Amino acid sequence: MKKAVVVLLIVFGLFWMVTDPHGLAQSAHKAGASGAALTGDFFSSVITFIRELE
């Protein structure tokens, strides 16, 4: 079952890459930017929490 889901995701990604490469690139860029912002916010919160413990 898990292999089928992975294969379907890969096939969908390849189909999307062939039919709309610009849209795929924009989505990947937005996802990367959101992930970077989330990581930055997380570590900023951890630093603030640690400083408050002192």
Residue 40 within a domain: yes
Among residues 28, 1, 3, the alpha carbon closest in space to that of 16 is found at 28
Residue 1 DSSP symbol: -
Residue 2 within a domain: no
pLDDT reported for residue 35: 92
By residue range, what is the domain housing residue 18?
A: 12-53
Among residues 40, 36, 44, 6, the alpha carbon closest in space to that of 28 is found at 36
Number of domains, the chain: 1
Question: What is the arithmetic mean of pLDDT over 21-31?
Answer: 91
Residue 3 within a domain: no
**Does the pLDDT at position 41 exceed 90?**
yes
Residue 19 within a domain: yes
Confidence of residue 33 (pLDDT cuts 50, 70, 90): very high
Mean of the per-residue pLDDT values of the chain: 93
Residue 20 within a domain: yes
**Does the pLDDT at position 9 exceed 90?**
yes
Residue 32 within a domain: yes
pLDDT reported for residue 24: 87
Distance CA 42, CA 54 (A): 19
Residue 49 within a domain: yes
Q: How far apart, in Å, do the first and last CA atoms of the chain sit?
A: 50
